[in-house]
């Protein structure tokens, strides 16, 4: 069963239940009121009859010599003055009955109904002090039976009134009300279904959007209209969809980077391993001169060292990928830039001397210190300077500069084509692959530098003029 049908059916069912409870209560009150009105009328009539009968007796009491005379006079007076729905008793014995029905006065007195609820509908002036009353049923008819003794005599009057019509009318009203309630319930059910369907329309849109997102369409959004709770749900859903889309795109980009990384790694490993395997087989199977042997062993050693450097940088890159900016912030200290530059120069001293390249350092006023992790910043500067050395020719200058805006490493090398600048921070990407391999590179240095800069909350930017210079900027 749909939610719209459930809500509508529940609302209509509750409304029908409460309306029927109220209808039954109202019909009962109406019936009691009408029954009280009838009883008040019958009591008044009985009171008048008893008073008239008593007056007749008091006027003729001196002529009534014995019980036989009282019976005769009472029967005669009753038959001449009372209608067919009354019975006269004398000393508990039926004296005159012109109603055609038989009544048991003793049973009536013993089992008289408690009709105290009807007293609120009775006239205060109506006498009912020694009244006996009962609502009985005979031959399918409802009768209101009342009896009262005539004061100071042995006579007692019983009268009844057929109230079958009153109960039938009440039953007809109940059936009519129930039928009308049922018709209104059906109409209300249809109306409520339309209203609830309109109210729940945003939820259907949410369901449809959720199904599309589950199917892979992360661009789906729902309409945000109005100021009610449903609009808040729509806003939350859209925000969730945006976050999911961002996460999926990020995962897709990460997956693509990992795929390219693995492909590049496999390519980088293939070349040295092929050479190492070839030279190893050559040394095992062919008698070579000492020079050739030394040449083969030197190549194997060189390639093994390159693979060692490659694995070290991969491990460092993997470790940095697992770090967060908050974790790096916990390790940050105030560092002297001159000491960072001196440590970098010390690490690169051998290569600077071999290529006869001059390393110049400059620290601007106000840039004497920097907040960061010493080991990571030395690694960043060393990698940037090492790339500058590989791109520079003998006799040129590499500069390390610190300003309030950031750290800068520049060279006078061959430069980088503009179309290559966006890719050079990707792992294993090399502009000149043959030159980089000859220099022992693996294309991981700038990837490490970019990761270190981002962990410090900085950014790495490369500017280059092909054939003239390249400048790496670590911007604070």
Per-residue pLDDT reduced to its tens digit, 100-126: 788 888 888 888 877 666 666 666 545
User: What's the mean per-residue pLDDT of the chain?
Assistant: 77
Domains identified in the chain, total number: 3
Per-residue pLDDT reduced to its tens digit, 374-427: 877 887 888 888 888 888 888 889 999 999 999 999 988 878 877 777 667 776
Give the whole-angstrom CA distance, residue 139 versus residue 101: 11
Q: How confident is the model at residue 438 (pLDDT cuts 50, 70, 90)?
A: very low
Half-sphere exposure of 145 (CA within 13 A, CB side): 24
Same domain, 392 and 243: no
Per-residue pLDDT reduced to its tens digit, 233-257: 778 877 888 888 888 888 887 777 6
Q: How confident is the model at residue 261 (pLDDT cuts 50, 70, 90)?
A: low
207: in domain:
no
Q: State yes or no: pLDDT of 171 exceeds 70.
A: yes
Q: Which of 322, 345, 362 is the last residue of a domain?
A: 322
Q: State yes or no: pLDDT of 86 exceeds 80.
A: yes
Mean pLDDT to the nearest integer, 340-363: 85
221: in domain:
yes
Out of 225-229, 429-433, 462-466, pick the least confident: 429-433
Give the whole-angstrom CA distance, residue 392 versus residue 415: 9
196: in domain:
no
Q: How confident is the model at residue 324 (pLDDT cuts 50, 70, 90)?
A: low
Same domain, 228 and 122: no
Per-residue pLDDT reduced to its tens digit, 8-35: 677 777 777 777 787 788 877 787 788 8
CATH number at residue 157: 3.30.450
Same domain, 406 and 385: yes
Contacts by residues 166-171 (CB-CB < 8 Å, ≥ 24 positions apart): 166/31, 166/34, 166/35, 166/38, 166/142, 167/31, 167/142, 170/27, 170/30, 170/31, 170/34
Q: Are the C-beta atoms of residues 296 and 275 closer than 8 Å to each other? A: no
Q: What angle do CA 448, 452, 455 make, to 5 degrees?
A: 140
Half-sphere exposure of 170 (CA within 13 A, CB side): 19
Q: How confident is the model at residue 271 (pLDDT cuts 50, 70, 90)?
A: low
Same domain, 401 and 355: yes
Name the nearest CA neighbour of 408 among 335, 326, 323, 474: 474
Say what the pLDDT of residue 403 is.
Answer: 92
Mean pLDDT to the nearest integer, 63-82: 76
161: in domain:
yes
- Give the Cβ contact number of residue 103 at 10 Å: 20
Q: Angle at which helices 67-81 and 3-60 pack, to 10 degrees?
A: 130
Q: Among the ranges 77-86, 175-184, 268-277, 322-331, which has the highest mean pLDDT value?
A: 175-184
Same domain, 304 and 241: yes
Q: Are the C-beta atoms of residues 380 and 419 closer than 8 Å to each other? A: no
| Cα-based distances in Å from 151 to 8, 58, 112, 332, 337 | 65, 11, 20, 116, 128
Percent of the chain exceeding pLDDT 90 equals 4
Q: Strands 469-475 and 459-465: what pairing?
A: antiparallel
211: in domain:
no
Say what the pLDDT of residue 328 is.
Answer: 59
Q: Which of 180, 205, 237 is the last residue of a domain?
A: 180
Same domain, 21 and 168: yes
Name the nearest CA neighbour of 429 among 265, 316, 284, 297: 265
Q: State yes or no: pLDDT of 37 exceeds 60.
A: yes
Q: State yes or no: pLDDT of 341 exceeds 70.
A: yes
203: in domain:
no
Say what the pLDDT of residue 430 is.
Answer: 56
Q: Which one has a higher pLDDT value, 229 or 438? A: 229
Per-residue pLDDT reduced to its tens digit, 276-291: 787 788 788 887 788 8
Same domain, 393 and 440: yes
Out of 329-343, 405-419, 438-452, pick the least confident: 438-452
Q: Give the residue carrying structure tokens 């010599």.
A: 65
Same domain, 296 and 336: no
Q: State yes or no: pLDDT of 441 exceeds 50.
A: no
Q: Which of 322, 350, 375 is the last residue of a domain?
A: 322
Give the whole-angstrom CA distance, residue 21 versus residue 28: 11
Q: State yes or no: pLDDT of 434 exceeds 50.
A: no
Out of 48-62, 330-344, 439-453, pick the least confident: 439-453
94: in domain:
yes
Give the whole-angstrom CA distance, residue 474 versus residue 459: 6
Say what the pLDDT of residue 402 is.
Answer: 92
Name the nearest CA neighbour of 387 among 426, 442, 350: 442
Say what the pLDDT of residue 440 is.
Answer: 44
Say what the pLDDT of residue 234 is.
Answer: 78
Mean pLDDT to the nearest integer, 300-325: 65
Out of 18-27, 193-202, 330-339, pick the least confident: 193-202
Domain that includes residue 426, residue range: 324-475
Say what the pLDDT of residue 437 is.
Answer: 44
31: in domain:
yes
Say what the pLDDT of residue 406 is.
Answer: 92
Same domain, 309 and 251: yes
Mean pLDDT to the nearest integer, 142-162: 85
Same domain, 265 and 398: no
Q: How confident is the model at residue 362 (pLDDT cuts 50, 70, 90)?
A: very high
Q: Which one has a higher pLDDT value, 322 or 194? A: 194
Same domain, 386 and 311: no
Same domain, 331 and 379: yes
CATH number at residue 396: 3.30.565.10
């Amino acid at each position: 069963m749909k939610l719209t049908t459930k809500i509508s059916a529940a609302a209509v069912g509750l409304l029908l239940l409460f309306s029927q409870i109220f209808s039954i209560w109202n019909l009962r009150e109406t019936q009691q009121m009408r029954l009280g009105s009838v009883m008040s009328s019958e009591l008044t009539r009985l009171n008048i009859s008893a008073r008239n009968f008593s007056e007749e007796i008091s006027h003729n009491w001196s002529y009534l010599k014995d019980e036989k005379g009282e019976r005769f006079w009472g029967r005669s007076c009753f038959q001449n003055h009372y209608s067919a729905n009354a019975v006269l008793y004398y000393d508990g014995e039926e004296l005159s009955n012109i109603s055609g029905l038989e009544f048991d006065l003793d049973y009536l007195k013993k089992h008289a109904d408690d009709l105290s609820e009807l007293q609120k509908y009775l006239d205060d002036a109506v006498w009912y002090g020694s009244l006996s009353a009962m609502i009985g049923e005979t031959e399918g008819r409802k009768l209101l039976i009342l009896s009262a003794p005539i004061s100071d005599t042995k006579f007692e009057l019983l009268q009844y009134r057929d109230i079958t019509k009153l109960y039938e009318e009440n039953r007809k009203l109940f059936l009519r009300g129930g039928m009308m309630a049922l018709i209104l319930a059906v109409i209300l059910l249809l109306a409520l279904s339309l209203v609830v369907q309109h109210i729940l329309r945003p939820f259907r849109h949410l369901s449809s959007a959720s199904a599309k997102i589950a199917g892979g369409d992360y661009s789906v959004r729902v309409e945000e209209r109005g100021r009610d709770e449903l609009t808040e749900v729509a806003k939350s859903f859209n925000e969730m969809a945006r976050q999911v889309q961002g996460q999926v795109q990020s995962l897709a980009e990460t997956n693509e980077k990992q795929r390219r990384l693995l492909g590049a790694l496999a390519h980088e490993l293939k070349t040295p391993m092929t050479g190492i395997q070839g030279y190893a087989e050559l040394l095992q199977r062919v008698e070579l001169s000492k020079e050739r042997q030394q040449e083969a062993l030197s190549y194997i050693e060189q390639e093994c060292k390159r693979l060692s450097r490659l694995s070290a940088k991969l491990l460092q890159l993997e470790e940095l990928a697992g770090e967060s900016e908050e974790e790096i912030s916990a390790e940050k200290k105030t560092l002297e830039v001159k000491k960072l530059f001196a440590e970098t120069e010390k690490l690169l001293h051998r290569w600077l001397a071999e290529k006869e390249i001059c390393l110049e350092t400059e620290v601007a006023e106000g840039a004497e210190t920097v907040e960061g992790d010493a080991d990571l910043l030395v690694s960043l500067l060393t990698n940037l300077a090492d790339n500058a050395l590989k791109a520079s020719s003998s006799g040129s200058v590499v500069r390390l500069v610190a300003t309030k805006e950031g750290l800068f490493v520049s060279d006078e090398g061959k430069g980088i084509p503009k179309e290559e600048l966006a890719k050079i921070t990707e792992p294993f990407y090399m502009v000149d692959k043959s030159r980089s391999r000859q220099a022992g590179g693996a294309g991981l240095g700038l990837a490490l530098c970019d990761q270190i800069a981002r962990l410090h909350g900085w950014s790495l930017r490369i500017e280059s003029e092909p054939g003239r210079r390249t400048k790496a900027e670590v911007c604070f």
